[in-house]
Amino acid sequence: MSVAVGDRIPEWVMDSVCPARMRTMAALLRDPNPLHWDRDAVAALPLGLGRRTINQGPLGLSYMINMLHAWAGPDCLRRINMRFPQVVLDGERVVARGEITALWDDNGETLAECSIWLQHEERGVLLEGTATVVLPKGGA
């Protein structure tokens, strides 16, 4: 893998955020928050989100991990730090994107610091953060 600072990571697309997956996730996480499975609870909030459930934060974060795995392999993740400026809603098409901001060698491994974000075409950046990724041998 030959990379340089400023390179973009191949994007990863979630074509439609699925409310059924949110319900499964709520059960697995034992997450009592109705925002993830009750459209009426979301509609009752003074946020103008309509009758759509809100994706769990870890699920939005997982789209970023899927992008990194597809790019650099299943053992690549060293650190991920995500902030959540906007919610992700059921039915939305979102795209995980990223860019290399630094590269360095450590104990024979090449590490990449990446700026990463989850984007919605109309609403802009929904999640944003950084990731540290170990690159496959032969990188940089």
Using CB under 8 A as the criterion, which residues of the chain lie in contact with other proteins when the complex forms? 14, 21-22, 24-25, 28-35, 41, 45-46, 56-59, 61-63, 65-66, 69, 74-75, 77-84, 129
Nearer to other proteins, 2 or 27 (CB): 27
Beta carbon nearer to other proteins, 100 or 126: 126
Q: In angstroms, what is the minimal distance from the CB of 43 to other proteins? A: 12
Q: Kindly state the smallest distance separating residue 15's Cβ from other proteins, in Å.
A: 9
Based on CB atoms, which residue is closest to other proteins, 39 or 69?
A: 69
**Minimum distance of other proteins from residue 14's CB (angstroms):** 5
Query: Rounded to the nearest whole angstrom, what is the least distance from the CB of residue 138 to other proteins in the complex?
Result: 20
CB nearer other proteins, residue 21 or residue 52: 21
Q: Which long-range contacts (CB under 8 A, 24 or more apart) does 60-65 make?
A: 60/84, 60/88, 60/94, 60/118, 60/126, 60/127, 61/127, 63/12, 63/14, 63/94, 63/96, 63/118, 64/12, 64/96, 64/98, 64/116, 64/118, 64/127, 64/129, 64/131
Give, for 26, the enclosing helix (H) or strand (E). helix 19-29
Of 58 and 124, the one with the shorter C-beta distance to other proteins is 58
The backbone torsions φ and ψ at residue 69, rounded to the nearest 5 degrees and listed phi first, read -60, -45
Minimum Å gap between C-beta 7 and other proteins is: 23
Rounded to an integer, what distance in angstroms lies between the CA atom of residue 17 and that of residue 89? 7
